[in-house]
Amino acid sequence: MKHYLEYLGVQLDTGSPREIIKESFAHHLILNGEIWIKMMLARNFLSHMYDEENSKQIYYAIKNEYLEEIEKLVKFFEKRQ
């Protein structure tokens, strides 16, 4: 997403994941910014915790929510090839 935003000429202040998600939503690369923020937070949480129950919850969120949003982004880019 970052590279595509740069290709569009979007000036990123920090290039942080949160900023990239915000700008991607503003430029209609993604449709559900809240889900992408949840994905980012889940990723951050997983990299610092080792709790099996929370890991399972995030696994199910990936399977049942996040994957669909990622597939939408893939289709967005496929249309632009």
**Per-residue pLDDT tens digits for 42-73:** 999 988 877 889 889 999 999 999 999 999 99
DSSP states along the chain: -HHHHHHHTPPPSS--HHHHHHHHHHTTS-S-HHHHHHHHHHHHHHTT---HHHHHHHHHHIIIIIHHHHHHHHHHHHHT-
pTM: 0.88
